[in-house]
Structure 1
Amino acid sequence: MTTEENTIEDAAVLEAAVAAVRDAGRRLLARYSEDARPADRAGLLAAAGENERTSNDELRRALAAARPQAKWLTDELETTELPPGEWWAVDAVEGNVNHVHGLPEWCVSATLLRDGVPVLAAVYQPVPDVVHSAVRGGGAFANGRRLSVSAKAELGAAIATTGQAEAGQSDTYRRIGESITTMLGAALLVRATVPSTFPMLLVAAGHADLFWQYRPTLPGVAAGALFITEAGGTVTDLAGQPWRPGSADILASAPALHAAALATLSTVN
C-alpha cells in the first residue's frame, strides 16, 4: 500500500475512532458528578472499576470493527518495544482517578500504531466537550482548530510539565523529584499532573512548552507524542534519541527549547 493510500485509509479509521471515543465518553459522562468524593480507597477503586466496565467493552468492539487487523495492546507491552504490525493503544478512562473525584481532567483516548509509530489518535474530553484528533502527516486538531506548539526559544520563559510514573517505582519517584527541582531552577514554571495526555495536549496547543516523564506507559503518551509531532514539536527520549514504544523516558517540547531541556534534565541520574 502506498503512503497516499495509507493516509486516506487512516483518515477513515480516525473518523471511526473519534466516534468510538465520543460514544465511550458520553457513557462515562452519565456517571460523572462534580460532587463525587470517594470516602476511602475501596470506594475509589470500586468507582474506577465500574468506569472501566462502562467504557471498555463497547469501545473495544468499535475500534476492532474500524481496524480488524490491528492487535490490542496488553499490559505487558505497555512499557516495551512493540512487535511489528498495527496495535491499538487505548485508555478507556484516562484520568479515572480524576473522574471519581469530580475533577474534569479525564478523557477516552485511542491511538493506532504501525510498526512502532503512532499514525492516528483520537482523544475525547467530555468536560468540556473537546475532540482532539490527529493523523500522521495531516496535522493535529482540537474541535477542528489546528494546533501549533509554542514559539518560545528561552527555557527561562517556559512552562514545563511532567507526570507521575506508575506506582511502586521508588527510584523513578526519586528522579521525578530531582528533575522537578532541577527544572524549577531553569524554567519559568513547573507543573506535575496526571494523566499524561493533558499536559502533552497543552504542549501541542502551545499553552505549555515542554513535557517530560520517566517510565511512561504507552497508552499514556502515544497520543500526545503524535499530537506534539503533528503540531510542529520535537519528541525524543532523554538521551535525545527518537522516542519509540519501550523508551525508558520521554521529552516533548517546542523545537527551540529541546536542546536546553535535554541539557537541564541530563544532570538527573
Structure 2
Amino acid sequence: MAAYADALDGTVAAVRDAGAVLRARFGEVVRYGTREELMGALAANDEAALAILRPRLTELRPGAGWVEDELDGGELPSGEWWVVDPAEGNVNHLHALPEWAVTATLVRDNLPVLTVVHAPLTGETYTALSGGGAHLDGRPLAVSATAELGLGIVATSQARPDEDEAVVRRVGASITSMLGDALVVRTAVPATLHLVNVAAGRIEAFWQFAGARADLLPGALLVTEAGGRISDAEGRPWTPASESFLAAAPGLHAEAVATLSR
C-alpha cells in the first residue's frame, strides 16, 4: 500500500483546493423555478470542483479510470478507479445549508483503498488508507464503544431524488423500526457526513437503501479503518452492487441488523 500512501497527500491537497472553490461560491440561496434550472445549478458546482480534481487526481494515478456520474451504483470493472463526488450534498450547498463536502476515493477491484473527505465550512479533513487506519486532520479515529442500540444515535439518508416507490416504502418502514429501538434517529443528506460521524464515534450507526458508490465508498473505508462493521441491512457482506448498506459500531451491529430486518 506504499504507493497509495504516497498518493494520499496529493489527494488531500486536491480535495481541499476544490473545497475552497466551492466555499467561495457558498452563501446565498440559489433560486430556481424549474428542474432544468436546478440541474444547471448543481452542474455548475460540480464543474467548478472537477476543474481542479480531475487533472490533479489523474496525475496522481494516471492508469486509474474515472467515474463520471456520482449517482451511479453497482460494481465497477476490475482495476483502479477514482470515485469522486465534487459536491457531496450539492443541494444543501444551493440552499445555503452547511452539510456538504468534497470526496475522492480510489477504488481497486471494487474495494476502496484510499479516501479523502473534506468539509470546507469546518475545515475538517477525514482520510483513510486500507490497512492504515482512519484519521481526522491526522488524529486517529475510533468508532463508538456503545453496545446497546437503545443508547445509540443512528442515522439514514435519501440515496437520490425520484427513488423507486418500493425503496421509499422500505426507507419509511426502517425509520419506523429504528424509532422504536434506537435512542435517536437522524435523517438528512448527504450520507458521507453521517458516515464520518460513525467513524469518529459521534453516532453509532448509519443505514441506507439503494445508494450510489460515491455516497458510500468513502464512509465504508473510514468506518472499517476506524474499527466499525460494514454489511448490508441483512448482515451480509456489502459490495457496491448491494441493495442496502449498514455501518455500525461492532457492539450493536447485530442489533441494528435485527431491527432493519423486521
TM range (shorter): over 0.9
> Residue deviations 1:10-38, cap 9 Å, x none?
111111111111111111111111x4252
Aligned to 1:255, what secondary structure does the other structure show?
coil
**Code of the aligned partner of 2:174:** S
Write out per-residue CA displacement over residues 124-163 of structure 1, whole angstroms, 9 at most, x where no aligned residue.
1110111111101111111112111000001110101001
> With structure 2 as the length reference, what TM-score do the two structures score?
0.95
| Secondary structure in 2 matching 1:79 | coil
How many residues get paired?
A: 260
CA distance in 2, matches of 1:45, 1:81: 26
Give the distance between the partners of 1:76 and 1:255, measured in 2 at CA. 29
Matches within 5 A, 1:100-115: 100-115=94-109
Show the counterpart of 2:25.
Answer: 31
Equivalent residue for 1:207, pick from 181, 202, 207 = 202
Q: Sequence identity, in percent?
A: 48
> What is the aligned counterpart of 2:67 among 51, 62, 73?
73
Residue of structure 2 equivalent to 1:155: 149
Displacement of 1:73: 1.7
1:241 aligns with 2:241: no
Corresponding position of 2:77: 83
Amino acid of the structure 1 residue aligned with 2:103? S
Q: Which residue identity is paired with 1:40? A: G
**2: CA distance between counterparts of 1:38 and 1:259?**
44
1:219-230 superposed matches below 5 A: 219-230=214-225
What is the match of residue 120 of structure 1?
Answer: 114
The runs of 5 or more residues in structure 1 that have no matched partner are 1-6
**Cα gap change, 1:57 to 1:76, in 2 (>3 Å):** closer
Is contact 1:82-1:246 (8 Å) kept?
no
Distance in 2 between the 1:199 and 1:46 partners?
27
List alignment gaps of at least 5 residues for structure 2.
none
CA RMSD for the aligned pairs?
1.5
Q: How does 1:163-182 map to 2 (within 5 A)?
A: 163-168=157-162, 169-182=164-177
Detail structure 1 runs of 4+ shifted over 6 Å in the superposition: none
Is residue 2:2 matched to residue 1:21?
no
Q: Which residue is 2:185 aligned to?
A: 190
Please say if residues 150 and 208 of structure 1, whose CA atoms lie closer than 8 Å, have aligned partners that are also in contact: yes
Distance in 2, Cα, partners of 1:85 & 1:239:
28
1:131 corresponds to which of 125, 140, 148:
125
Alignment of 1:45-60 (within 5 A): 45-60=39-54
**Which stretch of structure 1 is more off in the superposition, 162-171 or 249-258?**
162-171
Q: State whether structure 2 residue 251 is matched by structure 1 residue 256.
A: yes
Q: Contact 1:165–1:173 (CA<8 Å) still a contact in 2?
A: no
Normalised TM-score (structure 1): 0.93
Find the aligned partners of 1:227 and 1:47 in 2 and give their Cα distance: 30
Match of 1:256, SS? coil
